[in-house]
Amino acid sequence: MTMTVRPATALILILTLGFSAVPAAAGPNDDWRALKAEAKRASIDEMADEALDRVLAEQAKAATLLESSFGWAVFDNLKIAIGFSGGGGNGVAVERASGKRTYMKMGTAGVGLGLGGQSYQVVFFFQDEATFRRFVDKGWKADASAQAAAGTEGVNATTGFVNGIAVWQITGKGLMASADIAGTKYWKNKKLN
């Protein structure tokens, strides 16, 4: 039996399946929208701590950069591409000395060929207070040159802070080398702060 699927029907099916996966990315078996603010913060904190621990365990240079940083941030993202791409997620920015946490959101959109979805985390280290405050208080949009810098053999000796920020991206395949985060915007989450 041969079944013919119209392009419009396929697109609706893909969108439905893709967007139904968004709450699942927030935490195992949790409906993100139904969680109370305290539970959302706890879920974000757990994800962020795990991602930070992973970067520190897999990248020798990361521990040195973190020790010299003012703060760090981690975002859990889901990106879906269906001829155009879009994504969103949640995260937290942390002042290293005080441990003060600011909960944030991120979003990305683009146009291009693509079909599928990807879940990943992005880990930022901020070299100084001014860079951290600008990211948290004013929001930040990654420009065309923004890339996550890592690799299976660790960050090389020349890798460090670029414009006050060091970035790693973690996917199901591990830390990504030169993974593109351009076009992504980060801002405070008014509902969780």
pLDDT tens profile 115-162? 677 788 999 999 999 999 999 999 988 765 555 444 443 333 336 888
List beta partners, residue 106: 89, 186
**Residue 25, phi then psi, degrees to nearest 5:** -70, -20
For the chain, domain boundaries? 7-188
Q: How many residues does the chain have?
A: 193
What pTM, to 2 d.p., does this model score? 0.74
Distances from the Cα of 28 to the Cαs of 22, 73, 110, 128, in angstroms?
11, 21, 28, 35
β partners of residue 95: 71
Q: What is the pLDDT of residue 53?
A: 96
pLDDT, position 147: 52
